[in-house]
Structure 1
Amino acid sequence: MSETAARRRATMVEVAHAAGVSVMTVSYTYGRPERVSADTRARVREAAERLGYPGPHPGARSLRRGRTGTLGVVLGEHLTYAFDDPQATRFLSGVAGVCADHGMALTLVPITGGPSDVDRVTEAAVDGFVVWTTADDDPVIDAIAATGLPAVVHGGPRRDGLSFVAVDDRAAAEAVGREVFAGARRPAVLSFPLDRDRISTVTFGAATAGTVPGAASGIDPDATTAGAASGIDPDAATFRVTRRRLLGFRDAWAKAGGEWSQVRVAVCSINSAREAEALAAELLTGPDACDAIAAMGDELALGTLRTAARLGFAVPGDVTVSGWDDTDAAAPAGLTTVAQSLRDQGARCARIALGRLTSTDRDAEVAWNLVRRASTRRSQRRRAQP
Structure 2
Amino acid sequence: MAPLTSAKTRPIRLADIAKAAGVSHGTASNVFARPEIVREEVRERVKAAAEAMGYGGPDPKGRLLRAGKVNAIGVATAEPLSYFFDDPFARVMMASISQACDATGAGISLVSAANSEQLAWNIQSALVDGFIVFCVDGGSKLVELARDRKLPFVALDLDSDDDEAVAAIGVDNIAGAGLAARHLIELGHRRFAVLALPVADSGFGPTTREQMEKALYSGTRDRLRGYFAELSRVDIDVERVPIYETVNDEESVWAGLDHIFAGAETPTAILAMSDRMALHALD
For normalisation by structure 1, the TM-score amounts to: 0.64
The answer for the alignment partner of 1:265 in structure 2 is 243
Contact persistence 1:194–1:242 (CA under 8 A): yes
Amino acid aligned to 1:193? P
Given the superposition, is the C-alpha separation of residues 161 and 55 from structure 1 closer, same or farther in structure 2, using an over 3 Å criterion? farther
Partner SS, residue 72 of structure 1: strand
Aligned to 2:23, the other structure's residue is in SS state coil
| C-alpha contact 1:230 1:263 (8 A) present in aligned 2 | no
Work out which of the residue numbers 164, 176, 200 in structure 2 matches 1:172: 176
- Look up the equivalent residue of 1:162 and give its one-letter code: V
Choose which of 202, 224, 242 in structure 2 pairs with 1:246: 224
The question of 1:17 aligning with 2:14 is answered: no
How many Å apart are 1:275 and its aligned residue? Answer: 4.0
SS of 2:116's equivalent in the other structure is coil
Provide the C-alpha distance between the structure 2 equivalents of 1:6 and 1:232, rounded to a whole number of angstroms.
70
Aligned residues of 2:130 and 2:152 also touching (Cα < 8 A) = yes
Asked if the contact 1:69–1:104 (Cα under 8 Å) also holds between the matched residues in 2, the reply is: yes
Say if 1:16 and 1:26, in contact at 8 Å, map to a contact too. yes
Give the CA deviation at 1:65. 0.3
- Match status 1:229 vs 2:233: no
Task: Judge conservation of contact 1:30–1:55 (CA < 8 Å) in 2.
Answer: yes
Kindly state the Cα deviation for residue 168 of structure 1 after the two structures are TM-superposed.
Answer: 2.2
- Cα offsets for 1:66-114 (capped at 9, x unmatched): 0122211111311122222233222222222332333322211114343
Pairing of 1:268-287 with structure 2 (within 5 A): 268-270=246-248, 272-273=249-250, 275-287=252-264
Matched residue of 1:288: which SS? coil
1 CA distance for matches of 2:20 and 2:6? 18
Residues 137 and 238, structure 1, Cα contact 8 Å, conserved in 2: no
Q: In the aligned structure 2, how far is the partner of 1:103 from the partner of 1:47? A: 33
CA RMSD in angstroms comes to 2.8
Q: Is the Cα contact below 8 Å between 1:277 and 1:303 reproduced in 2? A: yes
Contact 2:78 2:119 in 1 (8 A): no
- In 2: Cα distance, 1:40 partner to 1:101 partner: 35
Deviations 1:246-282 (CA, angstroms, capped at 9, x unpaired): 2211222222234543332222213x35542332122
What are the within-5 Å matches in structure 2 for residues 79-90 of structure 1? 79-90=81-92
Mapped contact 2:5–2:53 kept (Cα < 8 A): no
Larger RCO: 1 or 2 (CA < 8 Å, sep 6+)? 1
The answer to whether the aligner puts 1:154 opposite 2:132 as a matched pair is no
Scaled by the length of structure 2, the TM-score of the pair is 0.84
Name the counterpart of 1:190.
195
Give 1:289's aligned residue: 266
Q: Distance in 2 between matches of 1:172 and 1:107?
A: 31
Where does the alignment leave 5 or more consecutive residues of structure 2 unmatched?
none
Inter-partner Cα distance in structure 2 for 1:269 and 1:296? 11
1:27 aligns with 2:29: yes
Question: 2 CA distance for matches of 1:81 and 1:137?
Answer: 15
Q: Displacement, 1:42?
A: 3.0
Tell me the alpha carbon deviations over residues 157-215 of structure 1, each in whole angstroms, 9 at most, x when there is no partner.
354443222332221110111222465554211122234x26222xxxxxxxxxxxxxx
Unaligned runs of 5+ in 1: 202-227, 307-386
In structure 1, how many angstroms separate the alpha carbons of the residues matched to 2:7 and 2:102?
38
SS in 1 for 2:159: coil
